[in-house]
Chain A
């Protein structure tokens, strides 16, 4: 056979539109740079994240000695610590978002597609979870299991999937009435096959947009928990912890607040721009 032209899938179309959106494209590049820096950055520095240099306690940025971001109140290199903070913050963001994605999409699509009584029971369960105070939940976890990183992942993921489930359920309800879903039922597919093949792929557009808005929320939540002292434990650190420490000594050591805060803000900015771009790319009105 002669060569067959490849079709343009909706995803390929969306990718093209996303990349032609300047703000989103720049945000994507900046975000990838931050990610790469957080992975390889510490290798460039002679200092470890927890090694203390007593000669440079609370030093402002000093390039000769290899402290580009200065040091903190106990003489640890802020550059390496900021990068370690980025690792933790981004990891929390990715893991918690993935947890919320997997549970939320599965739960929401099943609830919406099966409908009827099952749907009301499943959604009431979500409502109950919603009404639990988040801080209470986290404190309870910490008290019972001690302060561990994976608990932070778990706590945030357990809360974030609720929103996702509701959004996916709403999408599913409207998709269920589409003719192609009816065609699938008439075509003899099982419920699970329909959900997997016809429902979930069509919800992923709004899921992707929601996800990019969830990620900054999760980063902020982690920072908030760490700020309160419920999150990451010393000497490990995260952006939230760094900002909290930096805020304490803002007047004497501006650099200890400025650098982590800039990184956090930039990352949040990027995610929001990408989310915006994704929404435009996936839902083009002028076509």
Chain B
């Protein structure tokens, strides 16, 4: 991505803490650090993949960018506007430019509304001047774009399969032509053959509408198909950020390497011979993260330094950022 362009989205030192588990009435609640010091830029028309294990804060990051959860520190700037400084009404208006697609295709649609009501809802909010006929026309056009038959317009979500429900969700998000689309595990709940359809659809939509996409997923093999750059999160912190081919071929962070090698290859000869570096143990609790480098408890290369000093997230050339004392 050329750097002289202005980024569409600028995230700076973003942190999100949740209060959890108050032990008694008088004790202070503990803080769960879901996201700590996350910073990145997203260019117009770019797709950034965000990967990590469950509990690494990737979903929270998506919601924090959209201001759906309370931000504890840092800022999110969309198209030059600091979202944190907006009033509630202004923020609501700016939601036209940022939309979201959710993990569970059926649960993200109101079961009492039909497809037309669901897809037209954002139009009714943001384009109040449109007539009923105009709205219906746009809904039908959008249904063509996402590959839904026009005859489905009066049906209800429960009459559709998961893949079709996800198309409805995409139509609802794209009908206001957002500048930023956040996909939170948008294809994880779908079957492989359908997953491929939806990934391809998102890529086509991006080409057509020049939307910037943040694609959050635990599935690295899907992320690599759609993303220009990939950000690896571990325990709410950035571990590695690089262009996709750079990351897959020259991952510097031991965590990224382990993640990549853990993905099973659909090829029996390769996968049965491959000695994957299996990561032992589970992700530590974000309430009480390890000192120094958060990954040191599972890292095969951990040394004393890692427990004492947290590695800085810095550039290792060609826009490849890593937070590790001993990168590969």
Contacts and interface: CB of A to CB of B under 8 A. Distances in A.
Interface of A: 1-2, 4-11, 178-180, 182-190, 193, 197-198, 201-202
13 contacts: A4-B151, A5-B154, A7-B115, A7-B152, A8-B156, A10-B112, A10-B156, A180-B107, A182-B100, A183-B102, A188-B96, A188-B122, A190-B92
Contacts, number: 85
B107 A8 contact: no
Interface residues of B, number: 36
Which residue, of A2, A185, A193, has the highest number of chain B Cβ atoms within 10 A?
A185
B159 A8 contact: yes
B200 interface: no
Contacts of A9: 112, 114, 156
Contacts of B152: 7
Given A186-B100, A188-B92, A180 B109 contact: yes
A11 B112 CA distance: 8
Contacts of A180: 107-111
Nearest to B126: A188
Contacts of B103: 179
A284 to B, nearest CB: 11
A186 B154 contact: no
Interface of B: 66, 68, 92-93, 95-96, 98-100, 102-104, 107-115, 121-122, 125-126, 150-156, 158-159, 169, 172
Given A8-B159, A10-B158, A202-B112, A186 B92 contact: no
A187 B92 CA distance: 8
B154 A7 contact: yes
B159 A188 contact: no
Nearest to B107: A179
A5 B149 CA distance: 12
A98 to B, nearest CB: 21
A180 B157 CA distance: 12
Contacts of A183: 100, 102, 108-109, 169, 172
A183 to B, nearest CB: 5
Nearest to A180: B110
Contacts of A201: 110, 112
Nearest to B109: A180
A78 to B, nearest CB: 46
Contacts of A178: 107
B108 A179 contact: yes
* Closest 9 A/B residue pairs (Cβ): A7-B155, A188-B95, A179-B108, A201-B112, A179-B102, A179-B107, A7-B156, A186-B100, A180-B110
A178 B159 CA distance: 19
Contact of B172 (A7, A11, A187, A190): A187
Contacts of A6: 154
Given A10-B112, A180-B110, A182-B102, A188 B153 contact: no
A188 B93 CA distance: 7
A9 B110 CA distance: 11
A202 B110 contact: yes
B113 to A, nearest CB: 8
A193 to B, nearest CB: 8
Contacts of A187: 95, 99, 121-122, 125, 172
A185 B108 CA distance: 12
Given A187-B121, A188-B93, A5 B156 contact: no
A11 B125 CA distance: 26
Contacts of A8: 155-156, 159
A220 to B, nearest CB: 32
A186 B114 CA distance: 19
Which residue, of B93, B155, B172, has the highest number of chain A Cβ atoms within 10 A?
B155
Nearest to B117: A197
B125 A5 contact: no
Given A10-B112, A197-B121, 5 more contacts: A4-B151, A7-B159, A179-B104, A186-B98, A187-B122
A5 B151 contact: yes
A188 B172 CA distance: 12
Nearest to B111: A10
A202 to B, nearest CB: 6
B124 to A, nearest CB: 10
A141 B49 CA distance: 66
A85 B192 CA distance: 65
Contacts of B110: 180, 184, 197-198, 201-202
Contacts of A193: 125
A19 B306 CA distance: 69
Contacts of B121: 184, 187, 189, 197
Contacts of B66: 186
Contacts of B125: 187-189, 193
Contacts of A190: 92
Nearest to A10: B111
Nearest to A191: B88
B138 to A, nearest CB: 15
B271 to A, nearest CB: 34
Contact of B68 (A2, A7, A11, A186): A186
A193 B95 CA distance: 15
B216 to A, nearest CB: 14
A127 to B, nearest CB: 19
Contacts of B113: 197
A38 to B, nearest CB: 34
A186 B125 CA distance: 12
Contacts of A10: 111-112, 156, 158
A197 B112 CA distance: 9
B154 A4 contact: yes
A190 B89 CA distance: 9
